Amino acid sequence: MEHRDYLYLLGAMPDASPLLLRRLLALYGSPEAIFRQESLPVSPVRQAAIAEVKKAASEILKKRDEAEAAGIRWVSFEEESYPDRLRPLGDAPLGLFVKGKMPPEGKPSVGIVGARSCTPYGKMMAERFGGELGEKGLSVISGMARGIDGHAQEAALKRGGASFGVLGCGADVCYPAHHRRLYEALGEQGGILSEYPPGTPPLPHHFPLRNRLIAALSDVLLVIEAREKSGSLITVDLALEQGKDVLALPGRVGDALSAGCLGLIRQGAGVLTCCGDVYELLGMEAGGGEGTDPERREKLSPELKQIWRHMGTDPVHIEDLLAAEGDLSMGELSLRLLELERRGYIRQTAGGGYLKL
């Protein structure tokens, strides 16, 4: 076996902490030396796990090769393509499984996290921030989860940007299952990353662990809707420990899904009001993309601009739009709304309402 094979086998031990593996590497100097030891300074359970990996080495490596043939490659921390943003972590994984690409090193990246059961307002804001940041050329990092994560990543891809999903399961496992289209799009326009071998199911304890990678891969972390106690706040704590800037979207006082963000702001997190807040932290100019309402309006015809100016963060019913326009027929208004929706300026809600994106 080659050095890379031994390193892969070391990382293949079930539920072995990357911190423990790195300590063993520091102690013995190489993965080959670790596997030559008759006994190691680890628990009997861990010693048994190492013995099992030794016995199954050829089968484990065969599965790795099959995964790579299927488009999921393994990148060790010794390789140049391993993300530099992960290297400072004391518990950085020995390797990552990647479907698609890695987040580019020379491009700013922004993590977007939030509630799975988000409100229509939260969905709209996730799409607004994810879409503009993606269009601006920033990498959008998230966990492909239901709710805020998925909405932000879908919007980034829809606007031609790149997004990267960090999973708490194998990179070949689409979780949640209904995000199949997003999963495939991420593999084409960005990447799927996981520290877990292909075939690993989405076990509950994996998700808090993967959050450290979301935080580490993000230059700035945005929180859009979160309960007072939520997984998103775990990611925030990890980001703060890593010295990252955190911006929280303010919400209405008394709303359960605003409690987490308002609590973060009370504790000193930055207030997220527009993408300009992100650009300022990153030392970027806000030009390019469709960042502000005036910039977006310039790209619309006068007829579409007239409709769009009635839109806001609360749904506007089509009957109210018809009354506001007066001289338009329902058919003409519907065609203009359809065009605005097709171009990503608005979104229809249940009951005939429309929201600005």
Q: Are residues 277 and 178 in the same domain?
A: yes
Average pLDDT over the chain, rounded to an integer:
90
Select from 254, 282, 310 the last residue of a domain.
282
Q: What is the rounded CA–CA span in Å between residue 322 and residue 310?
A: 11
Task: Give the number of domains in the chain.
Answer: 3
**In the predicted model, is pLDDT for residue 290 greater than 70?**
no
Residue 159 belongs to a domain? yes
Q: Are residues 170 and 314 in the same domain?
A: no
Which pTM was predicted? 0.81
Select from 43, 69, 95 the last residue of a domain.
69
**In the predicted model, is pLDDT for residue 291 greater than 50?**
no
Weakest mean pLDDT among 41-50, 148-157, 214-223, 324-333: 324-333
**In the predicted model, is pLDDT for residue 289 greater than 70?**
no
CATH assignment of the domain containing 249? 3.40.50.450
Please give the structure tokens belonging to residue 23.
């300590």
Looking at the chain, list the stretches that DSSP marks H as alpha helix, in order from N- to C-terminal side.
Answer: 3-11, 18-28, 31-36, 44-55, 57-69, 120-136, 148-158, 180-189, 206-217, 231-241, 256-266, 275-282, 293-297, 302-308, 318-325, 330-342
Q: Are residues 176 and 208 in the same domain?
A: yes
Q: Are residues 238 and 213 in the same domain?
A: yes
Q: Are residues 250 and 143 in the same domain?
A: yes
pLDDT in tens, 307-334: 887 877 678 888 888 888 777 888 888 8
Residue 80 belongs to a domain? no
Select from 220, 250, 282 the last residue of a domain.
282
For residue 5, what are the domain limits? 1-69
Residue 29 belongs to a domain? yes
Q: What is the rounded CA–CA span in Å between residue 307 and residue 350?
A: 19
Q: What is the rounded CA–CA span in Å between residue 182 and residue 311?
A: 27
Residue 240 belongs to a domain? yes
- Above pLDDT 90, what percent of the chain? 68
Q: Are residues 27 and 156 in the same domain?
A: no
Q: Are residues 65 and 198 in the same domain?
A: no
pLDDT at 78: 95
Weakest mean pLDDT among 33-42, 230-239, 285-294: 285-294
